[in-house]
Amino acid sequence: MLKSVVLIMCLSFGAPIAAQSCAPFMGDPLDGFTPLDATAYLDLPDGDVVSVTSPIETAITNEIVAGNFRSASKTWCQIGIQRMIVDFEVPVEDDAISAMVTRAVYVWNAQDDPVGWQISQLAERPRCARGNDPFADVCP
């Protein structure tokens, strides 16, 4: 007997927690984040702000399908003329940490053909579950 299995996955866009996820960054947007290797997500420049983030989204979606993550959200923190910052947040079930935030910094690459957005830096940090500072150095 053949059973139909429907898998419904949600990757929420423009979450209301954007103000929390996109903590103000006047200087270095990766200050306090642990650097990751961005070359795994390096691709040809892409002029579309949605499709340029798809390599990271695909990796997160694969983890959801594998049962390692339950959900995720993506927030465009900043879209400027030359720089775009996107946060990907994956909830964590832990007493001290509520989520892991992966921040991707994209730059506008006008030197290559095609021109468009290209990942420049990637980093992650935990979001604290308690306390006044969601991005404290040490979560209480």
Cβ distance 85 to 75 under 8 Å?
no
pLDDT tens-digit map of 96-121: 999 999 999 999 999 988 999 999 99
- pLDDT at residue 24, rounded to an integer: 60
Do you find a cis peptide bond into 114, omega within 30 degrees of 0? yes
Mean pLDDT of the region 53-77 = 94
% of the chain surpassing 90 pLDDT: 59
d(CA 130, CA 132): 7
- pLDDT at residue 136, rounded to an integer: 81
- Give the CA distances from residue 78 to residues 75, 114, 130, in Å, rounded to whole numbers and listed in that order: 9, 22, 26
- pLDDT at residue 13, rounded to an integer: 39
Residue 92: closest CA among 113, 69, 73: 69
Say yes or no to pLDDT of 131 above 50: yes
pLDDT tens-digit map of 19-39: 456 766 557 889 889 999 999
Say yes or no to pLDDT of 87 above 90: yes
Model-wide pTM > 0.85: no
**Chain length of the chain:** 140
